[in-house]
Chain A
Amino acid sequence: METRELTCIGCPMGCQITVELDKGEVVSVTGNTCARGDIYARKEVTNPTRIVTSTIVIKGGDKPRVSCKTANDIPKGKIFEVMKDIDAAEVDAPVKIGDVLVKDVAGTGVDVIATRNIEKV
């Protein structure tokens, strides 16, 4: 039996979670205060994932950058590949929260979406 101590990143509470593993299988998750903590802990010990947030160059808008995020979490090991695609992207104003800015980023099957509105000027 193996135990791993984690700090949950699901929200700023940062619960201390203990995961018990047996031959790579999760046996128990304790210390979390919500269901998200349970999901995070199971994922973190098997296939860790992260939401990536950044900005994308936007043309013709009232701001030079539009903030964005991956619509879902992506494998932790793919963070820099995702960033490469985000940095190479350029979009045109206007943009609304939730608009898809990059489709299937870095082959993860996850889209990058806008997190703020940018007006056209």
Chain B
Amino acid sequence: MEKYDIVIVGGGPAGLAAAISARKSGIEKILILERDHELGGILNQCIHNGFGLHTFKEELTGPEYAYRFMQQVFDEKIEYKLNTMVMDISAERIVTAMNREEGMFQIEAGAIILAMGCRERPRGALNIPGYRPAGIFSAGTAQRLVNIEGYMPGREVVILGSGDIGLIMARRMTLEGAKVKVVAELMPYSGGLKRNIVQCLDDFGIPLKLSHTVVDIEGAEHLSAVTIAEVGKDGKPIKGTEERYTCDTLLLSCGLIPENELSRSAGVEMNPVTNGPVVNESLETSIPGVFACGNVLHVHDLVDFVSQEAGLAGENAAAFVKNGCKDLSDEKGIDIVATEGARYTVPTTVNVDRMNDLLTVRFRVGAVFQDSYVSVYFNDERVMHTKKKIMAPGEMEQVILKKDKLKSFDGLNKITVKIEHE
């Protein structure tokens, strides 16, 4: 069986950044397995700009951002296989994959980095009543059709869900001559970034209807109309608020789900809130030597943070391999708990001996908070208290823990992240 020090599953932004940082940490034998016919992942179809301000201090489009990392992978001569599907990962770190040239094959990995990304929630998972005609697409599928293939899915568009891809596609379809009639969002707040509401909807006068959902889909062969209605606090449509829109296209932008079939079958412990693996400060899952980063771990809104996180996973996988494929310490560490407004944290534990001088703990809030505070408690003592003008579920938040602070706190056994009004 062929052996590699580190096998990376996925050649998108997370996989690329993980590979580069593992190489910079001195690991020679690295292999990226990518199922698409090119590296770069979803960034290749994200032709809009706004990527890379944190990483490169300039504003890049998705393909440009991806290429910066691809170039480093080429320069470092990191091996990769395209059109290659990983079928299975075992707890013993045996990777089973297949492609057309080699058929089915197995690789023994010193460490594995999970970087499979996420996928869109499809219509079947949304329980929308009505017919099932052609003309209903996930926003990302439409994005691929328009930006990569050069096809327009339709001319008169309704969008359900205000996730970033839906907002970006509202603008994109408008620029290409389509009429985007409305964006309906079930929740009372947008799931996307504020800047995208400004530059994708407001710029073009596209209405955003919060607390609205699709209650009927019409069309025998092809979509002909959808009906949207306001929903009450119970999430149920309110009678009499229905509005019918004739349209030939319905785009769905209703959330992203980390793609963790491989992690689950390997026996990786999962976090039910993020739908991603539970990880420690090293981004290591419950299986020693299996690390996770990027959208497979938790859905990010900034690729810059994916790259940062993946860089850390690459470093830690390298440290694991260099330590004879053993963890530097077997201690699980201190629990990091999200409560009162904070929905989850990544990571969920921190071992002070293994952590870097600084540890970024990322989290999301469960509702919109104005003029509130992000607080961090060590046991029962509040040690951080930062005012934020606005926090929304669509935007990831973070706190940074300092190693010396954790070390010098006597008897520290629990770190809590919460949102407080004062």
Contacts and interface: CB of A to CB of B under 8 A. Distances in A.
Interface of A: 6-14, 16, 31, 36, 50-55, 57, 63-65, 67-69, 76, 79-80, 83, 87, 97, 115-117
A51 B49 contact: yes
Contacts of A52: 175
B49 A53 contact: yes
B194 interface: yes
A67 B63 contact: yes
Given A55-B147, A57-B150, A63-B148, A12 B50 contact: yes
A50 B203 contact: yes
Contacts, number: 88
B295 to A, nearest CB: 15
Interface of B: 44, 47-50, 53-54, 59-61, 63-64, 67, 146-150, 175-176, 193-195, 197-199, 203, 301-302, 389-390, 395
A16 B59 CA distance: 19
B294 to A, nearest CB: 16
Given A55-B150, A65-B149, A76-B203, A12 B301 contact: yes
A67 B193 contact: no
Contacts of B150: 55, 57, 64-65
6 contacts: A55-B146, A64-B148, A65-B150, A79-B203, A87-B176, A116-B44
A8 B195 contact: yes
B59 to A, nearest CB: 7
Nearest to B396: A12
Those 7 A-B pairs whose CB atoms lie nearest each other, nearest first: A14-B194, A116-B63, A67-B47, A11-B53, A14-B195, A9-B195, A115-B61
Nearest to A76: B203
Given A64-B149, A97-B64, A11 B194 contact: no
B48 to A, nearest CB: 5
A8 B53 CA distance: 13
A115 to B, nearest CB: 4
Contacts of A13: 195
B49 A14 contact: no
A117 B199 contact: no
A56 to B, nearest CB: 10
Given A7-B197, A14-B198, A80-B175, 7 more contacts: A6-B198, A8-B195, A10-B59, A11-B54, A11-B59, A51-B49, A67-B63
A63 B47 CA distance: 14
Contacts of A11: 50, 53-54, 59, 195
Nearest to A115: B61
Contacts of B49: 51, 53, 69
B39 to A, nearest CB: 12
